[in-house]
Amino acid sequence: MNNVLEIKNLKKAFGDFKAVDGVSFNVEDGKFFSILGPSGCGKTTLLRMIAGFLKPTSGNLLINGKDMLGVSPNERPVNLVFQNLALFPMMDVGENVAFGLKRKNIPKNEIKERVSSMLQRVQLSGYERKKISQLSGGQKQRVAIARSLVLEPAILLLDEPLGALDLKLREQMKIELKKLQNEIGTTFIYITHDQSEALVMSDRVAVMNAGQFEQIDTPVNLYANPKTSFVAGFVGETNKFEAKKEDNTSVSTKDNISFKSIFIDKDITDNCHLFVRPEAIALMPKDDIEGMNYFNLKVKTILFDGSNTKILATINDGSREISVSLPQNREFAHIKEGEIVKAAVHKNDCKCYKIQL
Partner 1 sequence: MNRHIKLGFFIFFVPVILWLFLLIVLPQIDLLLMSLKFENDAGKMVWSFANYSSFFTQKVYWLTFARTAIYAIIVTFLTFVVTFPMAFYITKVVNPKYKGFLTILILMPFWVSELVRVYGWMILLRESGVINYFLLKLGITHQPIEMLYNDASMIMGLVYTSMLFMLVPILSSLDGMDDSYIEAAHDLGASKFIIFMKIVIPYAAPGIVSGSIVVFMLTLGDYLTPNLMGGKNSLWFTEQIYNQFIESFNWNQGAAFGFLLLLISSLIIWIGLKISKQNLAKALS
Ligand X SMILES: Nc1ncnc2c1ncn2[C@@H]1O[C@H](COP(=O)(O)OP(=O)(O)O)[C@@H](O)[C@H]1O
Site residues (CB under 6 A) for ligand X? 14, 17, 19, 37, 39-45
Look at residue 151 and give the partner it binds from ligand X, Mg ion, partner 1, none, a contact being a CB closer than 5 to 8 Å depending on partner kind: partner 1
Look at residue 40 and give the partner it binds from partner 1, Mg ion, ligand X, none, a contact being a CB closer than 5 to 8 Å depending on partner kind: ligand X
Look at residue 99 and give the partner it binds from ligand X, Mg ion, partner 1, none, a contact being a CB closer than 5 to 8 Å depending on partner kind: partner 1
The count of residues interacting with Mg ion (CB under 5 A) is 1
Look at residue 84 and give the partner it binds from Mg ion, partner 1, ligand X, none, a contact being a CB closer than 5 to 8 Å depending on partner kind: partner 1
User: Which residues 5-64 are close enough to bind Mg ion by CB under 5 A?
Assistant: 44
Residue number, 37 or 153, with CB nearest to Mg ion: 37
Look at residue 109 and give the partner it binds from Mg ion, ligand X, partner 1, none, a contact being a CB closer than 5 to 8 Å depending on partner kind: none
Q: Give me the least distance between CB of 214 and ligand X, in Å please.
A: 14
Look at residue 74 and give the partner it binds from partner 1, ligand X, Mg ion, none, a contact being a CB closer than 5 to 8 Å depending on partner kind: partner 1
Q: Give me the least distance between CB of 23 and ligand X, in Å please.
A: 12
Q: Give me the least distance between CB of 47 and Mg ion, in Å please.
A: 8
Residue number, 93 or 216, with CB nearest to ligand X: 216
Residue number, 41 or 231, with CB nearest to ligand X: 41
**Torsion sign over Cα 283, 286, 291, 295:** positive
Residue 61: HSE in the Cβ half-sphere, 13 Å Cα cutoff: 24
Distance CA 346, CA 291 (A): 6
Residue number, 121 or 227, with CB nearest to partner 1: 121
Look at residue 80 and give the partner it binds from partner 1, ligand X, Mg ion, none, a contact being a CB closer than 5 to 8 Å depending on partner kind: partner 1
Site string for Mg ion, 66-95 (x = CB under 5 A): ------------------------------
Distances (CA, A) of 184 to 85, 272, 322: 21, 46, 44
The residues binding partner 1 (CB under 8 A) are: 51-53, 72-75, 79-80, 82-84, 86, 88-91, 99-100, 103-104, 147-148, 151
Residue number, 41 or 268, with CB nearest to ligand X: 41
The residues that touch Mg ion, with contacts defined as CB under 5 A, are 44
